Chains A and B, each alone.
Chain A
């Protein structure tokens, strides 16, 4: 167990401070009890509850956001007779209502979806009150509807790639879905789908993410100032909420794209009379179907399989007026395979079947209940697993003899089972308290092989026996337990100052290892004017997982691993300072600076990579620290005909490992000095809108060889035989070594790309009279920039060597058709 250090002592002091801070709750309640108005915010058309909607009392400068169940609890001063409240959510018309807290303690609110149209009244109110007034910072929410308007690779809307367009977030290599947030690594992001963690969010080797936007309501990215409810990762939380489904009517939504099609069906639960709803959404690619005519024409006897699928489902059931049960499930796999059969003239027949499958499966069962209009509770059971499996089988038949075969299977993955309880309590107008606990059992399978065979030759069988004995599944898998408890208080300190104070305590136990930590969290905002605030935050994080991954490309072989005696857990602290302002006419601007310190990071040892098998992973990595700092500008417009944002990040991300680069600090591979994202959407009319994105990023830091030289060291005995003074000889062939410049001392070419999409909306769906359709035509990488994917060395002229840059996508057209009825 780690010894307590100054950091932990500071954490204990922080806990004491939190307790001290909680005391005014009772003190303020004594003279006159404040009044709390609660309720759910729902979509008026579908009845779906809306998480993340903002309930704001402008006269009081006080507001709250709905939780994941769409519940709000707005506590008002005791003297408030009537209070004007605005309820807003992106994509919906803002509702303005008068609350009389003395008379009404429960008020459900429905919001009408925005109806786009030039001639119609502009959306009543502007968003941004929540961003300005909230104590949270470094947090951005995007709805699935916004994502669907963006240009997309091959026309496939992608939630993760939309997040990559936000400031402070970088993509990895070309087209990849990896997230690198504020100098952190791709393993440092907690990606939650309805509260359950997803471990691999990639399809097609990282070119598409697993999120089917048809089934998604919204996503919220938190990259700093983490509230205490979140933990377990260092760099970000990506909280994805699935849609509930339409409670009022059945609806069907579908899309047909270049590589995939999706179908979503939703509606009220049969026989429950608006007490429940369901949504089921499925997506599948058909690359294999499209490619089959071309492949089969080239090679007879050969079959090729390549597809992925997603299945999202969510059932919501109101057991009572207050008790809600929700079951969310996701299942998705990538399936690739190849097979061939050959028969020779003498009757010898050989058949090869090879395939790989990887994917996630998760389920969440949640029960939520407001015990009073001040206390809301949630309990959830979660299960999540990521699995990679590959099978190859080679069978041979000689006429007159029984078939012989050998079959190899390799699997790896991680399975989580967990339980969680959360409570939200609003004791006064000045306090909103949250507390909860979580316990998760991780089962790691870091790579298991099995072999089956039936061989004709006894010697081969004996050798296979030896190999099979070494591939024993149970010798590899292991279990760890991870738990945490937290408490946080959103504390209103007068009209201008508010703070969120929290403490997150976590521990992990696995084998003989135990790790524990106390992580203080603080974020505060000060309102300069009702439309302008400054914010600051500090958060400490601890992560009990490592990802042993290839650099640059998301491969299904990436392994999740628990910390060990040699490789400790990851820790970080981050401080941020920023300002947020509402500029009018739907414009928001946010400027933030941050500094993040990370310890317990792992990097591959020089020369080591995922491609070198048979080695303990701990021998492949070095442990060190890193730090990142920078500034972010986020200018966004969410209402009006023209929406979108401009994001700019200026940042430095550095690593230092005692055993790497001679102990000298070096730039992280994804250190990106300048990162620009321009997202633009313009609605020309009810039927036509244009989406545009342009991104620019400084090239990745790489290490390049600058010189070649002979290994002169008399190392080869055959050379030595000639070089021994008693045995001189003529010229010899010497091995050549390379001199590399400083680690990360060079940069790949800068990355920039323009994508366009033209969306045409029209009535009717699938040749039916009702419903509506959208046809999207666009292009990825419009000016066909040859962006760097990776560099590789190749022989040059006259014995020299050259570096070449591999680039992936030139201009790629995109076509997608979406319908709804």
Chain B
């Protein structure tokens, strides 16, 4: 289950680049190859680019700019869930202009503390990963991470598990079947929010696929991926823009806070659209299943999940102000934070009730 739960935090890094008329991958399964390729925004982009290049191209010169030297620091990251083994990966930074890539740190001392008590020194695995052999996080306790390595300052940070989300109902239902193979499914979660505190959540739909070859008698699992969904719930925050349908924002992972429903029962409706498997045929077919993942996040993890993916998404746009990635560690970078997930498998469409 660790795999599924941690997958919450993948989406922004794994998802496509921001929507762009040039980026067909944005449309995923719903992309229509026959759609016209010329849109007003595309036209603007092309024209402005042409203009800018025309005006500026003839006289532009480029000069290198020196960035101040950087002293390498440790980067540690450990996200923990109830009953999961402590797992921390340690690497180090490099200067922006340094002619090398960041490196993993294989000789670090990684310790989990609770107050003044050392709970466990994690054992080193490969790829800069350190894991616990016995201890696991528990609800209601405050832990701290301490990482040291020769030649680096010790980094420290603390975190706790948030209370698990109170999902009182999960109600998937079939909205429509526009064609023989097309299905639109509504996934409804009813959340009972804890009052008197700011709570942070995330919601994603995990797409599990397997390649089934009846003739060969083989089943090959494909890497899990996050599946796009739509929602008009304003609490879900900023979705990825959808240029073909601005009124239907598309999410791969939604981050939300309880500002609009503090202490109340809140209904979250999202919709997914997909094609069911074709009837059995002599060749291999793709079988798919969906799991709705909903987790309560610590504030630190929420802030990290807001900033890190956006930086990775938008890159180094010279006309945009850069985004700083949130960190709760001192003397270094990274995050040590907890989350409490819940998973809800979506039944096959043939078993779903129909939305009245």
Cα separation A704 to B304 with both chains bound (whole Å): 20
Q: Which of A247-255, A368-376, A533-541, A547-555 contacts B (4 or more CB under 8 A)?
A: A547-555
In chain A, what residue has the closest Cβ to B50?
A338
Which residues from 51 to 66 on chain B have a C-beta closer than 8 Å to any C-beta of chain A? 51-52, 54-56, 59-65
B241 near A732: Cβ-Cβ < 8 Å: no
Could you give, for residues 215-237 of chain A, a 1 whenever the CB lies within 8 Å of some chain B CB and a 0 otherwise?
00000000000000000000000
Confirm or deny: A736 has a beta carbon within 8 angstroms of a beta carbon on chain B: yes
Partner of A710, one of B18, B75, B304: B75
In chain B, what residue has the closest Cβ to A797?
B99
Please judge, given known A-B contacts A204-B55, A557-B48, whether A712 and B2 are in contact too, CB under 8 Å: no
Please judge, given known A-B contacts A466-B244, A714-B79, A802-B64, whether A796 and B36 are in contact too, CB under 8 Å: no
Residues of B within 8 A of A790 (CB): 318-319
Confirm or deny: A20 has a beta carbon within 8 angstroms of a beta carbon on chain B: no
A723 near B129: Cβ-Cβ < 8 Å: yes
Confirm or deny: A782 has a beta carbon within 8 angstroms of a beta carbon on chain B: no
A354 near B43: Cβ-Cβ < 8 Å: yes
Cα separation A324 to B9 with both chains bound (whole Å): 71
Could you give, for residues 458-484 of chain A, a 1 whenever the CB lies within 8 Å of some chain B CB and a 0 otherwise?
011011101100110000000000000
* Chain B interface extent, by class: 35 or more
Cα separation A799 to B96 with both chains bound (whole Å): 10
Partner of A611, one of B90, B100, B317: B317
Partner of A607, one of B38, B247, B311: B311
Which residues from 255 to 284 on chain B have a C-beta closer than 8 Å to any C-beta of chain A? none
Confirm or deny: A205 has a beta carbon within 8 angstroms of a beta carbon on chain B: yes
Please judge, given known A-B contacts A724-B2, A800-B100, whether A390 and B63 are in contact too, CB under 8 Å: no
Q: Which of A107-115, A161-169, A314-322, A405-413 contacts B (4 or more CB under 8 A)?
A: A405-413
Residues of B within 8 A of A799 (CB): 99-101
Min CB distance, A398 to chain B, in Å? 17
Min CB distance, B35 to chain A, in Å? 4
Residues of A within 8 A of B46 (CB): 354, 392
Which residues from 382 to 438 on chain A have a C-beta closer than 8 Å to any C-beta of chain B? 390-392, 394, 406, 408-410
Min CB distance, B295 to chain A, in Å? 14
Partner of A711, one of B34, B51, B308: B308
Please judge, given known A-B contacts A604-B321, A614-B243, A714-B87, whether A459 and B316 are in contact too, CB under 8 Å: no
Cα separation A737 to B308 with both chains bound (whole Å): 7
Cα separation A356 to B48 with both chains bound (whole Å): 8
A736 near B101: Cβ-Cβ < 8 Å: yes
Residues of B within 8 A of A306 (CB): 51, 54
Partner of A470, one of B6, B63, B79, B246: B246
Residues of A within 8 A of B97 (CB): 796, 800-803
Which residues from 213 to 264 on chain B have a C-beta closer than 8 Å to any C-beta of chain A? 223-226, 238, 241-247
B38 near A406: Cβ-Cβ < 8 Å: yes
Confirm or deny: A703 has a beta carbon within 8 angstroms of a beta carbon on chain B: yes
Confirm or deny: B320 has a beta carbon within 8 angstroms of a beta carbon on chain A: yes
Q: Which of B112-120, B134-142, B190-198, B322-330 contacts A (4 or more CB under 8 A)?
A: B322-330
Residues of B within 8 A of A788 (CB): 63
Please judge, given known A-B contacts A392-B47, A707-B93, A803-B65, whether A408 and B42 are in contact too, CB under 8 Å: yes
B36 near A406: Cβ-Cβ < 8 Å: yes
In chain B, what residue has the closest Cβ to A448?
B40
Min CB distance, B188 to chain A, in Å? 25
B321 near A716: Cβ-Cβ < 8 Å: no
A807 near B62: Cβ-Cβ < 8 Å: yes
B77 near A717: Cβ-Cβ < 8 Å: no
Cα separation A613 to B313 with both chains bound (whole Å): 14
Cα separation A406 to B38 with both chains bound (whole Å): 7
B96 near A606: Cβ-Cβ < 8 Å: no
A800 near B96: Cβ-Cβ < 8 Å: yes
Please judge, given known A-B contacts A449-B39, A717-B224, A792-B318, whether A709 and B64 are in contact too, CB under 8 Å: no
In chain B, what residue has the closest Cβ to A730?
B126
* Chain A interface extent, by class: 35 or more
Which residues from 711 to 755 on chain A have a C-beta closer than 8 Å to any C-beta of chain B? 711-718, 720-721, 723-725, 728-732, 734-741, 743, 746, 748-749
Residues of B within 8 A of A394 (CB): 38
A738 near B322: Cβ-Cβ < 8 Å: yes
Could you give, for residues 551-564 of chain A, a 1 whenever the CB lies within 8 Å of some chain B CB and a 0 otherwise?
11101010000000
Residues of B within 8 A of A463 (CB): 32, 34-36
Partner of B96, one of A409, A611, A708: A708
B36 near A704: Cβ-Cβ < 8 Å: no
Cα separation A717 to B204 with both chains bound (whole Å): 13
A793 near B40: Cβ-Cβ < 8 Å: no
Cα separation A709 to B60 with both chains bound (whole Å): 32
Partner of A706, one of B85, B92, B96: B96
Residues of A within 8 A of B126 (CB): 728-731
Cα separation A660 to B52 with both chains bound (whole Å): 30
Cα separation A714 to B335 with both chains bound (whole Å): 11
B241 near A800: Cβ-Cβ < 8 Å: no
Which of B59, B99, B318, B334 has the most chain A CB within a 10 Å cutoff? Answer: B318
In chain B, what residue has the closest Cβ to A295?
B54
A716 near B13: Cβ-Cβ < 8 Å: yes
Partner of B70, one of A204, A706, A786: A706
Confirm or deny: A612 has a beta carbon within 8 angstroms of a beta carbon on chain B: yes
A704 near B55: Cβ-Cβ < 8 Å: no
Min CB distance, B245 to chain A, in Å? 7
Confirm or deny: B340 has a beta carbon within 8 angstroms of a beta carbon on chain A: no
Confirm or deny: A629 has a beta carbon within 8 angstroms of a beta carbon on chain B: no
Please judge, given known A-B contacts A354-B43, A467-B36, A735-B13, whether A807 and B321 are in contact too, CB under 8 Å: no
B318 near A791: Cβ-Cβ < 8 Å: yes
Please judge, given known A-B contacts A455-B36, A730-B127, A810-B61, whether A205 and B52 are in contact too, CB under 8 Å: yes
A717 near B3: Cβ-Cβ < 8 Å: yes
B10 near A715: Cβ-Cβ < 8 Å: yes
Residues of B within 8 A of A800 (CB): 94-100
B323 near A607: Cβ-Cβ < 8 Å: yes
Partner of B89, one of A613, A712, A746: A712
Residues of A within 8 A of B131 (CB): 725
In chain B, what residue has the closest Cβ to A796?
B97
Cα separation A799 to B101 with both chains bound (whole Å): 6
Residues of B within 8 A of A207 (CB): 55
A805 near B64: Cβ-Cβ < 8 Å: yes
Could you give, for residues 319-351 of chain B, a 1 whenever the CB lies within 8 Å of some chain A CB and a 0 otherwise?
111111100000001110000000000000000
Cα separation A810 to B97 with both chains bound (whole Å): 27
Partner of A356, one of B38, B51, B241: B51
Residues of B within 8 A of A354 (CB): 43, 46-47, 50
Confirm or deny: A355 has a beta carbon within 8 angstroms of a beta carbon on chain B: yes
Which residues from 126 to 170 on chain B have a C-beta closer than 8 Å to any C-beta of chain A? 126-129, 131
Partner of B35, one of A467, A552, A705, A808: A467
Given contacts A463-B35, A709-B333, 9 further A-B contacts (CB under 8 A): A356-B48, A410-B43, A708-B95, A711-B308, A712-B89, A713-B304, A713-B308, A717-B10, A796-B99
Instruction: Show 19 A/B contacts (Cβ-Cβ < 8 Å), sorted by A.
Output: A390-B43, A392-B38, A470-B245, A551-B321, A606-B320, A705-B322, A707-B93, A710-B75, A712-B91, A713-B9, A724-B2, A740-B324, A790-B319, A796-B99, A799-B101, A800-B98, A803-B64, A804-B63, A805-B64
List 6 A-B pairs, minimum CB-CB distance, nearest first.
A798-B99, A614-B241, A449-B40, A606-B323, A410-B40, A463-B35
